[in-house]
């Protein structure tokens, strides 16, 4: 069968396409796990800014797919709906499948859309079985993790249990299936690699637990190294390890760093997400190993520096430093110190605008970011489908915006008990632009040519809405914020 798999073009504030165009790892993984005789194409529409419709039309014409699959996050739902309608119009007989976080956690949102099938949860095996059934005209009733139309209604087959990665059931991704190019992270070609899936924590804002339960499964190192080599051989000079929580097993992570060093795969730049507690508690041995393995940016899930907010986010445990088995308070500073001492940059993940937040508590977090993080990744709590946080916000009557396309993490869609959503966002926006600017010299030292060529564009992105007058303080920055919001809204419409 001919299959076209699409990821959505929508991006969010901290990942402007001028600097970051990251592949969707789900689609190449699915492409690597279908039976080999299918013709499969993967198109990441993040690479086609402003030209997504034309690109979809072109690919539909050239590839004439029998099956079209969409990978969708919640804030991309509206774009997905528009492109689903387009695909249906272009080829009414093609089977249209949606998968990923949003269709898995909010399948009800897709029932009225021009969709034939919904893959819930992990997709590799479900999609392989689906293609087999479609090819032979068999029933799909037995395929776990699948929702399908039947006699005018929808049938939701039972969930699929999570795949154990240890037994090599999931084959390597198929990067040859990609039909578009231009992936980049600050000028270097980037790719994504998984070494594990799952997490055993249950932070209230995170979708992962509803998506797959609390568990942790790991690929063996031979497979991980083969995957890294394959990404490198396809041109990657930077690799994002997309594990939900690679730091759950620190010994394994250290062993992975050693394996990367031994196999000389440490010329690549690595990005990873980490828990502060793991870095703080094991930094003495872990951080130098990470550095030698090529890790450059570490996204730290700091979430918040105030204990009350950490409690609401259920993120206290993962941010606790320990010594001889006893708690030594917040792990963040210690983790940052280890990373800086080993010449790695800290991408500081903070969440401001929680129910009890006041202007002062938000400002305390912003001030922390100013002082300690190299690249701020500050977000607002966002009530994604079926997370515990969503229920909390609804119970407290704090959700102010239900337009899913604005659920991108940097648009405040909830208010606090004391501060309006708009004010929360304004506070973050005003502070964060300047913090981002500070990282330019470090980015320049690493990739001077890219920064020279793109600095004006990156600057224009970061400060869009501002004028010389507002930058010089001659105009109320709220006016600039209003213009920024209008520009952002226009950008969304273009996707």
Out of ligand B12, ligand SF4, none, what residue 201 binds, judged by CB under 5 to 8 A for its kind, is: ligand SF4
Cβ neighbors of 478 (< 8 A, separation 6 or more) are 426
Among 3, 4, 19, 30, binds ligand B12 (CB under 6 A): 30
Near ligand B12 in 58-117, by CB under 6 A = 69-71, 73-75, 97, 99-102, 104-105
The answer to whether 253 touches 309, Cβ cutoff 8 Å, is no
- Longest Cα–Cα distance in the chain: 69
- Segment interacting with ligand SF4, rule: CB under 6 A, options 169-177, 196-204, 425-433, 472-480: 196-204
Tell me whether residue 222 or residue 307 sits nearer to ligand SF4 (CB atom). Answer: 307
Tell me whether residue 392 or residue 470 sits nearer to ligand B12 (CB atom). Answer: 392
Tell me whether residue 14 or residue 291 sits nearer to ligand B12 (CB atom). Answer: 14
Out of ligand SF4, ligand B12, none, what residue 306 binds, judged by CB under 5 to 8 A for its kind, is: none
CB atoms within 10 A of CB 63: 17
Helix (H) or strand (E) holding 474: none
Q: Of 264, 263, 257, 262, which Cα lies nearest the Cα of 293?
A: 257
Q: Of 38, 215, 201, 35, which Cα lies nearest the Cα of 122?
A: 215
The answer to whether 102 touches 72, Cβ cutoff 8 Å, is yes
- Segment interacting with ligand B12, rule: CB under 6 A, options 20-28, 132-140, 220-228, 253-261: 20-28
The answer to whether 196 touches 217, Cβ cutoff 8 Å, is yes
Binding track over 19-48 against ligand SF4, x by CB under 6 A: ------------------------------
Among 9, 103, 283, 301, binds ligand SF4 (CB under 6 A): 301
Query: How is residue 35 annotated by DSSP?
Result: -
Instruction: Give the shortest CB-67-to-ligand B12 separation in angstroms.
Output: 9
Q: Of 491, 493, 495, which Cα lies nearest the Cα of 52?
A: 495
Tokens 């709220």 belong to 478
Binding track over 162-201 against ligand B12, x by CB under 6 A: ------------------------------x-x-------
Q: Does residue 318 touch ligand SF4 according to CB under 6 A?
A: yes
Measure the N-to-C terminal CA separation of the chain; round to a whole number of Å: 29
- In a 3-state reduction of DSSP, which class is residue 428? helix
Tell me whether residue 30 or residue 279 sits nearer to ligand B12 (CB atom). Answer: 30
C-alpha span between 108 and 356 (Å, rounded) = 31
Helix (H) or strand (E) holding 439: none
Among 110, 201, 219, 426, binds ligand SF4 (CB under 6 A): 201
Tell me whether residue 46 or residue 228 sits nearer to ligand B12 (CB atom). Answer: 46
Token pair for residue 288? Answer: 């130098």
- Segment interacting with ligand B12, rule: CB under 6 A, options 202-210, 220-228, 357-365, 485-493: 202-210
Query: How is residue 196 annotated by DSSP?
Result: E
Among 193, 203, 290, 298, binds ligand SF4 (CB under 6 A): 203
Q: Does residue 393 touch ligand B12 according to CB under 6 A?
A: no
The answer to whether 226 touches 266, Cβ cutoff 8 Å, is no
- In a 3-state reduction of DSSP, which class is residue 100? coil
Half-sphere exposure of 298 (CA within 13 A, CB side): 33
Q: Does residue 12 touch ligand B12 according to CB under 6 A?
A: yes
Applying CB under 6 A, the residues found at the interface with ligand SF4 are 199, 201-203, 206, 208-209, 244-245, 275, 301, 318
Applying CB under 6 A, the residues found at the interface with ligand B12 are 5, 10-12, 15, 22, 24-26, 29-30, 46, 69-71, 73-75, 97, 99-102, 104-105, 119, 122-124, 127, 192, 194, 206-208, 242, 244, 379, 384-385, 408-409
């Amino acid at each position: 069968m001919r299959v076209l798999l699409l990821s959505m073009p929508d991006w969010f504030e901290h990942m402007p396409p001028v600097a970051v165009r990251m592949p969707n790892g789900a689609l190449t993984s699915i492409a690597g796990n279908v039976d080999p005789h299918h013709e499969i194409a993967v198109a990441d529409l993040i690479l086609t800014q402003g030209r997504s419709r034309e690109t979809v039309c072109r690919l539909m014409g050239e590839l004439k797919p029998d099956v079209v699959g969409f990978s969708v996050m919640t804030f991309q739902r509206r774009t997905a709906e528009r492109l689903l309608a387009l695909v249906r119009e272009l080829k009414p007989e093609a089977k249209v499948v949606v998968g990923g976080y949003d269709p898995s956690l909010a399948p009800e949102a897709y029932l009225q859309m021009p969709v034939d099938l919904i893959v819930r949860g992990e997709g590799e095996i479900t999609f392989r079985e689906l293609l087999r059934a479609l090819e032979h005209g068999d029933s799909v009733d037995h395929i776990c993790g699948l929702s399908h139309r039947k006699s005018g209604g929808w049938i939701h087959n039972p969930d699929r249990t999570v795949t154990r990665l240890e037994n090599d059931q999931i084959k390597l991704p198929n990067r040859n299936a990609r039909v578009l190019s231009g992936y980049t992270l600050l000028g270097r070609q980037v790719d994504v690699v998984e070494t594990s899936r799952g997490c055993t924590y249950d932070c209230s804002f995170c979708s992962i637990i509803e998506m797959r339960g609390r568990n942790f499964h790991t690929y063996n190192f031979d497979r991980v190294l083969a995957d890294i080599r394959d990404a490198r051989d396809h041109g990657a000079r930077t690799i994002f390890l997309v594990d939900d929580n690679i730091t759950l097993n620190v010994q394994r992570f250290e062993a992975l760093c050693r394996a990367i060093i031994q196999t000389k795969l440490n010329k690549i730049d690595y990005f990873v997400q980490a828990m502060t507690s793991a870095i703080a508690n094991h930094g003495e041995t872990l951080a130098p190993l990470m550095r030698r393995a090529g890790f450059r940016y570490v996204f730290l899930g700091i979430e918040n520096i105030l204990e009350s907010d950490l409690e609401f986010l259920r993120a206290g445990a993962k941010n606790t430093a320990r010594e001889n088995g006893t708690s030594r308070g917040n792990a963040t500073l210690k983790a940052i110190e280890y990373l800086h001492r080993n010449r790695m940059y800290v991408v500081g993940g903070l969440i401001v605008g929680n129910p009890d937040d006041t202007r002062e508590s938000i400002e305390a977090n912003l001030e922390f970011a100013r002082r300690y993080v190299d690249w701020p990744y500050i977000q607002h709590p966002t009530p994604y489908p079926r997370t515990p946080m969503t229920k909390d916000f609804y119970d407290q009557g704090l959700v102010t915006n239900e337009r899913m396309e604005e659920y991108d993490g940097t648009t405040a869609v909830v208010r606090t008990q004391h501060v309006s959503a708009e004010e929360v966002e304004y506070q973050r926006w005003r502070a964060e632009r300047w913090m981002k600017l500070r990282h330019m010299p470090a980015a320049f030292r690493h990739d001077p040519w890219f920064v020279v060529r793109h600095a004006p564009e990156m600057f224009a992105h970061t400060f869009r809405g501002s004028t010389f007058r507002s930058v010089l303080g001659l105009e109320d920055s709220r006016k600039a914020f209003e213009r920024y919001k209008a520009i952002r809204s226009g950008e969304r419409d273009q996707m």
